[in-house]
Amino acid sequence: MNKAAIDDIYRPVSAIIVRRYKFNRNRTELSYMLVQKPRKSHAWQFPQGGQDQEETGAEAALRELREECGSDLKVSLVDTIPIGIYQYKFPRKRTDGYIGAKVSFFRADYLFGQCQPDGKEIIDYEWLIREKIDEYVHPEYKEALKSVFF
């Protein structure tokens, strides 16, 4: 199957990795924001969602962050091209024609504000250091993140 055909059957999705620097006296601590979806499995992930036809991946990542966390949270986009890709198949047949998703990851630096979960798409969030993320995410997602955290 050629690349164009694969792109047609995998839904384009953009994820945003929001990182926050905390400067302490002796070191700089870096944490990342994960959000919790209202489901039993695969609940914790970076804010993400489907890319609309007229927008770039980076634009979709910023829009999804705004939709899921509200407009109070301000970030500065670091990447305009993906720093990593995670492709997976959906667990069951869907009616939209897609058999899976192709998630593109973009980074952003936290500026100010708070994530205010909408209670529908997102029910909670956490700021976590890199080592703690593995405890929250599904093993397949964790594996995909290896290419993102160099």
- Nearest CA to 34 out of 142, 103, 129, 126 is that of 126
Give me the helices (H) in the chain, please: 3-9, 57-69, 130-136, 139-145
Residue 150 within any structural domain of the chain: no
Residue 89 within a domain: yes
Domain boundaries, position 45: 9-145
Q: Which of 116, 15, 114 has the alpha carbon at shortest distance from 61?
A: 15
Q: What is the pTM of this model?
A: 0.87
**What stretch of H or E contains 12?**
strand 10-23
For residues 40-59, give the mean pLDDT: 93
Split into its structural domains, the chain has a count of 1
- 69-98 tens-digit pLDDT: 999 999 999 999 999 999 988 877 766 778
Domain CATH code at residue 115: 3.90.79.10
Instruction: List pLDDT tens digits, range 26-48.
Output: 778 899 999 999 988 779 999 99
- 115 pLDDT above the threshold of 80: yes
